[in-house]
Amino acid sequence: MTPNTQISSDLSSSKPAPVDRAKQLAATLLSQRGEASGAQVARELHQMLCTLDADDRHSFQRYLATEFQPDKAALRAAAERYLADATAEAAAALARAGDPPRQELLRRMNMAPGGTGALIAMRSEITSSLRGEPELRLLDADLKHLFASWFNRGFLELRRIDWQSPAAVLEKLIAYEAVHEIKGWDDLRRRLAPDRRCFAFFHPALPGEPLIFVEVALVQGLATAMPALLARETDEATARAQAARADTAIFYSISSCQDGLRGISFGNFLIKQVVEELKAEFPQLKRFSTLSPVPGFRRWLGQRLANGSDPDAALWPQLDSGEWWNDPAQSEKLRAPLLRLCARYLTRPPSIRIDPVARFHLGNGARLERVNWLGNSAPRGIQESFGIMVNYLYDHDSIEDNHEAFVRDGTIVRSPEVDTLLKAYSTQP
């Protein structure tokens, strides 16, 4: 129900506090019927919101979350009609009655120039408050619901990003890279070299803002470690020759750029469309694989070995002290047990909180292809997974079957090499 607030027809005649003015404008915006007048109020509302400090913005967000609720009497009546006669028409009427006015208000706020970006920023800002203020989850859920429609695949544009792309977009790649830090412009230039590709999804409402981007290396064979992919020494002629000889595309980094769009899936569409783009440009490519982190492995293993009763408990003191990965002899002793334990971690039933990166790729229809020892010995790689990285293989002929098997009953399709690691796990003393 819209707040029962008396709004003067001439808002400019009063001088309320900025946050109160914003609330008045929100109520007025919902009451407007004309599109032109609504757009003007939406513009004024966004201008006002830009002047608020953090506390006042929080007050306005709570106002949106708590005041614009469905009309209880209308909802009760619709529910009773549906219970009395469960027709499609009654169900539709019940759905309309349950639709909070807040969603329509947010739609109208989106009419203002920059409205989409402002609403994304609002959702990002309320994230930190959701746990302590459950009422804000209503606003969060409505924003997510609307974004799922506004950012569906039909509105997204795939663009290749290269060294000739606008500097503002290139700067955003450096800022948003979430997997392997881009260490300045020289590093970025290498990642955009002729034997590399970078693609991103954009949306018409945010033309200069990538939503998600993927970095790809064109190589020979299945890459198993990051250093070669991130090396900066290759000159342009060598890079072009490498691209011409490549038989494998390695997706080595996927980064989401807009925190306010969390929970809106773009990555599955991105990878599959990029595969098609690469196949058209490089017909000789035979394999499409990731080289992915295993962000939950160290935490899982630490919890598993914490009580000391596990057969592998003796590993933990060795793993938790010194730079063993820089000592070849010590590293080799840890190699076999860590690889089999990681294979076990990655193939547990999805109902037992599967690794988030694994869930993403397996859910997209990839195959768990290979578990790689010390694929990333950078501090983050050691901290997350003792340096272990994983190849997930996207095989065009089996993607849909793999996806269906994973979704239907949690089947994790894997290679014989991974099966060998699992057998070693099952036969350990």
Least confident of 45-54, 299-308, 356-365, 400-409: 299-308
Token couple for 202: 């954009």
What's the residue count for the chain?
Answer: 429
pLDDT at residue 173 in the model? 97
Contacting residues for 352 by C-beta, under 8 A, at least 6 apart: none
Greatest alpha-carbon span in the chain: 82
Domain of 266, in residue numbers: 154-290
Q: Work out how many domains the chain is built from and give that number.
A: 3
Question: 228 and 137 share a domain?
Answer: no
Catalytic choice (361, 377, 396, 403): 361
Whether 25 and 142 map to the same domain: the answer is yes
Angstrom distance (rounded) from CA 306 to CA 254: 32
First to last CA, the chain: 65
Would residue 3 count as lying in a domain? no
Residue 180 is predicted with a pLDDT of: 95
Structure tokens, 300: 């899982």
Question: Reduced to 3 states, what is the DSSP secondary structure of residue 223?
Answer: coil
Q: Mean per-residue pLDDT for 349-371?
A: 92
Give, in order, the Cα–Cα distances in Å from 175 to each of 100, 184, 294, 381: 36, 10, 22, 19
User: CA dihedral in degrees (17, 18, 23, 28; nearest 10)?
Assistant: 100
pLDDT digits (tens, 9 = 90+) for 197-225: 999 999 999 999 999 999 999 999 999 99
The verdict on 280 and 165 lying in the same domain is: yes
The CATH number of residue 329's host domain is 3.40.630.150
Q: Are residues 344 and 329 in the same domain?
A: yes
Q: 172 lies in a domain?
A: yes
Q: pLDDT-derived band of residue 1, with 50, 70 and 90 as boundaries?
A: very low
Q: Establish if 261 belongs to a structural domain.
A: yes
The whole-angstrom separation of Cα 73 and Cα 96 is: 13
Kindly state whether residue 5 falls inside one of the protein's structural domains. no
State the DSSP string of 153-213: GGG-EEEE--TTS-HHHHHHHHHH--SS---SHHHHHHHTSTTEEEEEEEBTTBTT--SEE
Q: What is the pLDDT of residue 426?
A: 65
CATH of the domain at 129: 1.20.140.90
> Measured between alpha carbons, how far is 48 from 188 in angstroms, rounded to an integer?
38
Alpha-carbon gap, residue 259 to 175, rounded angstroms = 13
Q: Which two tokens stand for residue 345?
A: 């971690």
Same domain, 127 and 170: no
38 and 131 in one domain? Answer: yes
Does 292 qualify as catalytic in the annotation? yes
Residue 1 lies in a domain: no
In a shared domain, residues 78 and 201: no
Q: Of 150, 173, 193, which residue is a domain's last? A: 150
Q: Are residues 58 and 164 both part of a single domain?
A: no
**Is the residue at 389 inside a domain?**
yes
3-state secondary structure (DSSP) of residue 56 = helix
Are both 184 and 166 inside the same structural domain? yes
Domain containing 186 — which CATH number? 3.40.630.180
Domain boundary among 269, 290, 311: 290
Q: In this predicted model, what pLDDT tens digit does every residue of 143-165 receive, in sequence order?
A: 999 999 999 999 999 999 999 99
The answer to whether 180 is a known catalytic residue is no
The answer to the question of residue 142 being in a domain is: yes
Percent over 90 (pLDDT), the chain: 85
- In sequence order, the β-bridge partners of residue 212 are 201, 256
Residues 241 and 257 in one domain: yes
Q: Which residue has 């003792």 as its token pair?
A: 386
Q: Of 150, 174, 195, which residue is a domain's last?
A: 150
174/112 same-domain check? no
Provide mean pLDDT across the span 159-175: 97
- pLDDT over threshold 70, residue 10: no
CA distance 199 to 213: 6
Q: Which of 253, 255, 292, 385 is catalytic?
A: 292
Residue 13 has pLDDT above 60, yes or no: no
357 part of a folded domain: yes
Question: pLDDT, tens digit, for every residue of 28-72?
Answer: 999 977 777 889 999 999 999 999 999 999 999 999 999 999 999
- Do 279 and 306 reside in the same domain of the chain? no
